[in-house]
Amino acid sequence: MPAIELMVRFNILFLFLFLSLSAQRFPNPTVDSLLTNGINFILLEDYNSAEKNFQSLNQQFPDLPLGNIFLAAVNISKATDYNFELNEDKLDLLFENAEEITENYKDKYGENLWYHYFVALVNGYKSYYSIEQKDYLSGMFDGIESIKSFENCLEIDKNFAEAFVIIGNYLYWKSKKTEFLEWFPFIEDNTDQGIKFLERAVEETTYSRKLAVYTLIWVYINEKRFQDAVNLSRKILDQYPNNRFVKRALASAYYYLDKEKSIEILNQIKSSLVEDNALNGRNKIILNYRVAKLYFELKNYKKAGDICSKLLSDYAQTKTSDDVIIKRIEMTKELSEKIKENL
């Protein structure tokens, strides 16, 4: 798997993991209820309801950073799902507010478990956001700071099992992204350790168990354990049958097992985006290109060619500066030429 794809997977995993971790029970039952409901709305991809829920959390509990943190989560989740640009000004303000409230919380309550938890969440989302903006240095720095804060949580409460998910994820993907440096004496391969942490998290976590399982989906795909990835995907889809993040992972696993099934799932994602009025230029060309490429690999050149022709026709008059769309148009042209060679 190319390094850039690993980075993308790492980003998406961070996003899902922090959604899962927030379900660690907060002592105040009203806060816990608002968090649980809001996270459930995100997983159901009901972003408007999620935003209203976390705005309510902000209004009722202005001395906690959780409302700002998860309003950022809603915006990041929606942008990732719908494939549009992040609102930088809005996110910067939410992060600034969350950091200020977190420091005020420390002044009042000290460096307790929840303080470290808040710091971990803020830095985790900042890491995701920075990497999405291609600021990889800041992103990795914030990610490491987030890991340190979760380690502090474990020092305070060794049964804080949700931290195993983050630490296991980090160890595994860090090892995979730096495996070309393993001949250096100070670079360790933590692949097995990372998987063990993740497997322990699946067994021991409660609220975050289903999303800990999601982490393992991409690990299994990367380890070429494709059927295991399919089985784990189905576990999440039993509860969230329309979750597009999980379906994208499932389609990737089926790419290696059953390309027809992969096409079926990609078309389900496309239909779901149409229903949500969210099939924008990016999503449309990305999904259709993936389907065309699968048909090409199945040697159904006519079907693949029809999709490419339609895409190129649709985008022929489109003037865009979107690098993602421009790149996919070029890839579609290249695929179209390959198809012509085989007809």
| 224 Rama sector, left if φ>0, alpha if ψ -120 to 50, beta otherwise | left
**Token pair of 205, please?**
């976590």
Q: Is 51 within 8 Å of 70 (Cβ atoms)?
A: no
Q: Residue 212: what pLDDT?
A: 67
Pick the CATH number of 3-259 from 1.20.1070.10, 3.40.50.300, 1.25.40.10, 1.10.260.40: 1.25.40.10
Burial tier of 150 (Cβ tally within 10 Å: 0-12, 13-18, 19+): buried
Regarding predicted confidence, which is higher, 284 or 217?
A: 284
The percentage of residues in the chain with a pLDDT greater than 90, rounded to a whole number, is 44
Lowest mean pLDDT across 79-83, 122-126, 127-131, 151-155 = 127-131
Select the highest-mean-pLDDT range: 98-102, 125-129, 245-249, 278-282. 98-102
Regarding predicted confidence, which is higher, 164 or 341?
A: 341
Range 15-32 average pLDDT: 67
Tell me the pLDDT tens digit for each residue of 300-336.
999 999 999 999 998 887 778 888 899 999 999 999 9
Regarding predicted confidence, which is higher, 179 or 68?
A: 68
Q: Residue 324: what pLDDT?
A: 86
Q: Residue 159: what pLDDT?
A: 75
Q: What's the rounded Cα separation, in Å, for the pair 177 and 4? A: 9
Q: Residue 61: what pLDDT?
A: 97
Q: Residue 271: what pLDDT?
A: 96
Q: What's the rounded Cα separation, in Å, for the pair 132 and 123? A: 14
Q: Residue 18: what pLDDT?
A: 53
Distances in Å between the Cα of 132 and the Cα atoms of 83, 196, 314, 330 are 11, 28, 28, 22
Task: Assign 26 a pLDDT band (cuts: 50, 70, 90).
Answer: confident
Q: Residue 104: what pLDDT?
A: 96
Q: What's the rounded Cα separation, in Å, for the pair 248 and 279? A: 15
8-state DSSP, 26? P
**Which amino acid is present at 155?**
E
Task: Assign 19 a pLDDT band (cuts: 50, 70, 90).
Answer: low
| Average per-residue pLDDT for the chain | 83
Q: What's the rounded Cα separation, in Å, for the pair 77 and 158? A: 30
Q: Residue 3: what pLDDT?
A: 40
Q: How many other β-carbons are positioned within 10 Å of the β-carbon of residue 297?
A: 12
Lowest mean pLDDT across 2-6, 73-77, 130-134, 226-230 = 2-6
Q: Is 244 within 8 Å of 269 (Cβ atoms)?
A: yes
**Predicted TM-score of the model (pTM):** 0.79
b/e sequence 274-292, b meaning 16+ C-beta within 10 Å: eeeebbebbbbbbbbbbbb
Cα 267 from chain centre: 20
- DSSP secondary structure letters along 37-53: HHHHHHHTT-HHHHHHH
Q: What's the rounded Cα separation, in Å, for the pair 198 and 196? A: 5
**Token pair of 1, please?**
């798997």
Q: Residue 162: what pLDDT?
A: 63
Judge whether residue 280 has pLDDT over 70.
yes
Q: Residue 1: what pLDDT?
A: 41
- Rg (C-alpha) for the chain, rounded Å, is 21
